[in-house]
Amino acid sequence: MTDVVELTVEGAQAAFAAGVTSEVLTQAFLDRIAQYNPAYNAIIFLNPDALADARAIDRRRAAGEALGPLAGIPVVVKDPMDMVGFPTTAGWSLLHSKSGGVDLMPGTDSPVVARMRAAGTVILGKTNVPVLSHTGSHANDSWAGPTYNAAGRDFLPGGSSAGTATAVAASLAVLGLAEETGGSIQNPASAQALVGIKPTFALVPNAGVMPLSANRDVVGPIARCVRDAALTLDVLAGYTAEDPKTVAGIGHRPKRGYASRLHPDALRGKRLGLYGPGWRNMPLSAEAAELYACAQRELRDLGAELVEDPFAGSGFAELRRATPPLLEFDARGLESVPYDLQKYLERLGPDAALRSFAEFAAATAKGDAFGPNSVLGFMHNLPQFGPCLADPARPPDLSDFTAVKEAYLETFGAVFNRERLDALVFPQMRDQLPPLHGPDTIHETTVGEINIAGLPGVTVPAGYYASSAPFCLIFVGRMWSEADLLACAYAYEQATRHRRTPDLSMS
């Protein structure tokens, strides 16, 4: 059997060059899924056409066709991304017919799925999420049951892209698609010692992805190494008329691709800002601070110049405001979700079971997603949510969100200019992962700030706690700076090689 553990795109392409077929590789991943997915519950729908898709790529390769780097690579896709032939359930039993709900069957692929197909990837299946992607910590309330962390079944796996992260971390796929509104790429990637790219808002289309906020939602890759994530971003990024906001990204993609600046010396001479109360007045745990100090020594050894708390005195931290009753999450920008869902449902096509927000609300009334005790009940504490809920067909007032977004971007840019920063480098979490079952959530450092501002971030493994929970850094930069952030992450990754293969359980 072909060994797929920790297999990278480069390794897969070398195997293809040596005569291994995509069909053989795909079967090896399907065998591994059969062995380990029952214990980790990462993949909730398998693609019955995966082997046929692999054989089609093999025929094209045998015919001498020039293929891209992801051709024949087995991947997974997050459940809320529309994919023809599969229901989009968003983890909710009320949107899953076999759990007593209704199936939302898309008439067309979402642009990101279509782009992965066009790149020749072999989509193995779709991955688990919590109900309506409401949390960045887990998938415990999914109709499919919890997803477990490959780094340790007792830890939170991160969310809402829990299934994608576990599938990649457990080597059930080479890489996967994730989506973020408030931590749902960076949290699960960090929780499982992976590379995740939370891209600049509007770089990657998210039409055809069930929304939580059309003002914050982004699609990005999760992978086991920086190069694989960069190659995937090459496929995902760019304009499409299906998602007009992506016109903003024209002219901002690197002409030679997101892997073009990857070099072991990329950190030399870079000025990097460090985490501190000027960014957010929430301290690191003692062990997180110790791991961060070690990472800082590694960064200095690689030639980086580190700037202590560059946001001190800038007023940046004071812009953050948790939405009651949430202790930490700033939900501004989510006010528009009824309107966003209306537009999403209209895109599903005339044969869809639900074609309007009113029909959605009626079909899910017994779950009442926006009721006072529901997973999204906190939205009533956003002053501009109520009018949108009352009239989902009308474009909502988002003046609160746009005002804070503008303030974030203005302050961020001023600090970067004053301190001559190339990027920020923070611990992605302030302390170690909480247990899977319990009241605690992931305590991150950048969720809200970069989601509202629309800024990019790249996570990279940076060590482990004594408990064996992963510790990751996140590089954050100006809008459209993904190529430079990936270069920094790559130089750090290549020098330190912190990621280690998880020891998987069979039960």
Question: Which active-site residues does the annotation give?
Answer: 78, 160, 184
Structure tokens of 188? 């699960």
- 102 closest CA partner among 356, 352, 349, 343: 352
DSSP strand pairing (271-274 vs 423-427): parallel
How crowded is the C-beta side of 363, counted as CA atoms within 13 Å?
20
Alpha helices in 144-265 (DSSP H): 162-169, 186-191, 226-236
What whole-number distance in Å separates Cα of residue 282 and Cα of residue 202? Answer: 30
- For residue 149, what are the CA distances in angstroms to 7, 90, 319? 19, 19, 33
Q: Are 219 and 204 in contact (CB under 8 A)?
A: yes
Handedness of CA 387, 388, 394, 398 (dihedral sign): positive
How far, CA to CA in Å, does 52 sit from each of 46, 219, 362? 13, 27, 39
Sign of CA dihedral 160, 161, 165, 167: positive
* DSSP E strands, 80-169: 122-127
Choose among 429, 496, 438: nearest CA to 192: 429
Amino acid type, 313: G
Distance CA 186, CA 444 (A): 9
* 173: its two tokens: 């796929």
For residue 46, the SS3 value is strand
Tokens of 248: 């903003």
In total, the chain counts a number of residues equal to: 507
Give the separation between CA 115 and CA 121, rounded to whole angstroms.
9
